[in-house]
Amino acid sequence: MSEKQGNSLIKNAFILSGAAILSKILGAFYQAFLYQQIGSAGVGIYMKGLYFYSMLLAISASGIPIAVSKMVAEERAAGRKDVAERIFSNSNKILGLLGGAFALLLFVFAPFIANNIYKDPRIIYVLQAMAPAIFIVAIMGSIRGYFQGKENMTPTGVSQIIEQVVRVGFSVAITLFLINSFKEIPVLDIVNGVAFGPFLGAVFSLLILLVYLYFDRKNTVA
């Protein structure tokens, strides 16, 4: 391994580790805030929906960034950049279809899942609010894998931070807004508002990745 490759490896590891640590800190603050504002009952409702959403997310996109990264890196190292680009394009299509299918299934079957699996109809809207995020996160997995294959971890790290910042920021803002705007607002209404956070975070994260992708394409052509 050359000195340049070693420095690049350290830099990339630092970026991803920093992003993960910051995301964990924001997540801890986020959970503490929710417990203070809506109590354990409200957090329990939200977490039920989040657990099921996370499970489908793992099924639809787990390991994809690593697989795309490995294939892109191998093809680029062999000088077959056109093949690497086709791999990226095909992975986008596959993940788009897979993520879209899981998102649609979760949205449509949310009442069945809530009523028959969790025996708690209160999480129907939580599941439906989170469902579209599965499609977006699946697409992000392909883009992150592509950049990682090019040994560029900055887009992944930045997008992860933006995703968490937007999700936490929105959840805090909507919670405070609802509490301060409506007297004795039901906890379920606050939970339903907070449930939109993962989707909004994913949207902003994807936008950041698309900006990086645009400039990457522009520099490649240049």
Between the two ends of the chain, the Cα-to-Cα distance in Å is: 29
pTM for this entry? 0.87
Residue pair 60/98 in contact (Cβ under 8 Å)? The answer is: yes
User: Tell me, what's the pLDDT at 1?
Assistant: 46
Task: Count CB atoms within 10 A of the CB of residue 16.
Answer: 16
Biggest alpha carbon–alpha carbon distance for the chain: 64
Give the residues of the chain that fall short of pLDDT 70. 1-9, 12, 60-62, 220-222
Q: What is the pLDDT of residue 60?
A: 67
Q: 86: how many CB neighbours lie within 10 A of its CB? A: 12
What distance in Å separates the CA atoms of residue 180 and residue 183, rounded to the nearest whole number? 7
Would you state the structure tokens that stand for residue 76, as one six-digit string?
């680029």
What is the reported pLDDT for 149? 87
Let me know: does 31 contact 43? Beta carbons within 8 Å: yes
Would you state the pLDDT for residue 222?
Answer: 52
Q: Are 147 and 155 in contact (CB under 8 A)?
A: yes
